[in-house]
Amino acid sequence: MSRIKEFNLPDLGEGLTEGEILAWLVKVGDTIELNQPIVEVETAKAAVEIPAKWGGVVTRIFHEAGTTVEVGAPIISIDTEPGAGPAPSEPAVADGLIGGPAPGGRTAVLVGYGPKTTTAKRRSRSSTPAPATVAASPAAPVVTTPQVEPTRVGPVLAKPPVRKLARDLGVDLATITGSGPSGSVTRDDVQKALAVEAPTEPAPSSPNGFTGAGTREQRIPIKGVRKATAANMVASAFTAPHVTEFLTVDVTRTVKTLEKLRAKREFAEQKISPLLLVAKAVLLAIKRYPMVNSTWSGETGEIVIKEYVNLGIAAATERGLIVPNIKDADRLALPELATALNDLVRTARSGKTPPSDMTGGTFSITNVGVYGVDTGTPILPPGESAILALGAIRPTPWVHNGKIKIREVTTLGLSFDHRIIDGELGSKFLRDVGAFLADPKTAMLTWG
């Protein structure tokens, strides 16, 4: 059996066909261990780190960062017996590619070195050298060689969000001198490099004083999570007939309950927000109305009622909107639910949500209130029959016990699939969620 093993890009989710290499965590010549993270890949569902299947020495990297690779294609080869003498030779690598010969007799072993293999267009640089010119002379031709711009001779240090920004703006990280720790490239470095690369000649002015739009536009490739989210939302919006209902609720007692929970030992290490009690309200209301937690199956002509709740929480990330879900959320006690919510949000913000957390959701919540928005009409995630929007909680004049007082008030928005949930069912479900938030202590004692 060959000691040089090729590691192919695995299927990182259900039916995914490709992934984009965001960053290599190793380089040719590195000694790696079994299960050591070697590459960060973005799919249509999330960005994930892929561990090594074998330990050994990296002998070849097939694709540089920024390349989109099909599932099953080789991405790296590893010598699994580096101590057994020289490794058998591998097929020749094309000039300029990683692991192949490079100008000056060097070997291109650094991530980001060599020509791009994608079809993305890079912004032209204003300092691009002019072609060589030849002057005729009776004695001998004189060749004027263009000045070559210096290129980085070491690995580019930059965090994944900075790398993504550079790719989106068409800036080559290898040409930037980083100002961050250990010479790492920062977001400001990328923006400054973009300003240098922009054309210096003013755009032609129109008679009314406006300049051309070409220098005032930014183009962001539609791919990865953003592309998949857009496709799913369009499919859902034009497949399931949406209905949205709204309910304004006095949640003063919910706010007071949260303050009491924060003082309890079980929640001492947790970040407690209104989302925790909204999630609990939804889970208890689903027990009362199981049809809300179901799927319309056009293929089989059935409505599939789920006897478990995988609770999705919409999260905005640098790569776009994702809706990871907490598996079997209905089986969790309140402290466990708080832990699961915090872990889900933390993982989503770090960009490390695994594909398994992005599939199988049965009901979702989107918290638009964190942006100061009163409520919204959310679109259903594919395969789900309802989604709840939580609006901002504001001090508001409210009639309480026959008197006008300042109370903490919010507005809920419930969108649902009208093929499954009729007006009566949707209204009762939303009413009960509101009743829980109006008096969570009593509801937990009597409903649970």
**CA dist., res. 432 & res. 346, Å (int):** 30
Respond yes or no: is residue 400 known to be catalytic.
Answer: no
Catalytic residue among 63, 242, 400, 418: 418
- Cα–Cα distance between 123 and 105 in angstroms, integer? 29
| Residues labelled catalytic | 418
